[in-house]
Amino acid sequence: MDIKKIVKVTSAVGGIIFIVIQSIQPNRENPLFDPTMTMQADLKMPANIGQLLERGCKDCHSDQTTWPFYSYIAPVSWLVSHDVMEGRKNFNMSEWGKYKPGKKIQKLTGIYEALSDRSMPLPKYIPLHPAANFSDAERDTLARWAQSQAEKMLGGE
Ligand code: HEC
């Protein structure tokens, strides 16, 4: 076979595989949740804190995910869904009210740590979501708030 033919056959096969994998749709469900059980309702946070969580965290840590267009195109869709499902499993703002006090303290400390070591918002999420590109001051504000909430709960309030 000459090189042109190889390129043609390869792209045809690639195209067919691409079309076939589109039928494998990942989970993009936004489950119904109880608005009285959200982190926002439970912790009565200041508006700026709510906005930071909304801008940087809610797509992967709540049941109110905004699914981007590429979450409909395999194989990227599988990766996006995986991150959201894993994110929700670790910490879900829509289910917050159901957590026991110890778990809340653990999550708040985790939020503080994740912001401080810059592991969250997930770095790969930021280029396509500029609103999640927190300034140092914003990162610090959210981190300190989480820490102060954890301390408040540890103090038994
Ligand atoms: C693109 C999706 C995505 C975004 C956006 C995101 N996270 Fe995550 N988060 C994950 C995933 C996936 C995990 C679990 C795997 C891991 O730890 O890397 C996780 C884990 C965590 C954990 C660890 C939970 C535990 O039990 O220790 C914390 C805390 C956390 N995220 C906080 C945040 C905060 C705060 C934000 C916003 C500033 C945020 N995340 C934004 C996907 C995301």
CA of 58 to the centre of ligand 1 (A): 10
Across the chain, mean pLDDT equals 96
Residues 6+ apart with CB under 8 A from 121: 56, 57, 129, 132, 134
- Can you tell me the distance from the alpha carbon of 150 to that of 114, in angstroms, rounded to the nearest whole number? 14
Protein residues with CB under 6 Å of any ligand 1 atom: 56-57, 59-61, 83, 86-87, 90-91, 107, 110-111, 114-115, 120-122, 125
> Which atom of ligand 1 sits closest to the CA of residue 52?
38
Report the pLDDT value the prediction gives residue 157, as an integer from 0 to 100: 60
Nearest CA to 87 out of 27, 23, 147, 127 is that of: 27
Per-residue pLDDT reduced to its tens digit, 20-31 = 999 999 999 999
- Test site for ligand 1: of 54, 60, 105, most ligand atoms within 8 A of the Cβ: 60
Give CB contacts under 8 A, 24+ apart, made by 22-29: 22/73, 22/74, 24/74, 24/78, 25/74, 25/77, 26/74, 26/77, 26/78, 26/80, 26/81, 26/82, 27/81, 27/85, 28/65, 28/67, 28/71, 28/72, 28/77, 28/81
R_g of the chain computed on alpha carbons: 20
Q: What average pLDDT does this structure show over 84-88?
A: 98
Residue nearest atom 2 of ligand 1, based on CA coordinates: 60
Atom number in ligand 1 closest to CA 86: 12
Tokens representing 104? 């809340």
Q: Mutate which of 28, 53, 91, 93 to test ligand 1's pocket (most atoms within 8 Å of Cβ)?
A: 91
Ligand 1 atom having least distance to the Cα of 129: 5
pLDDT of residue 150: 97
- Distance of CA 152 from the midpoint of ligand 1 (Å): 22
50 and 40 in contact (C-beta within 8 Å)? yes
Please report which confidence band the pLDDT of residue 155 belongs to, taking 50, 70 and 90 as the band edges: confident
**109-118-61 Cα angle (round to 5):** 60
What percent of the chain is modeled with pLDDT above 70?
99
Give pLDDT tens digits for 60-81.
Answer: 999 999 999 999 999 999 999 9
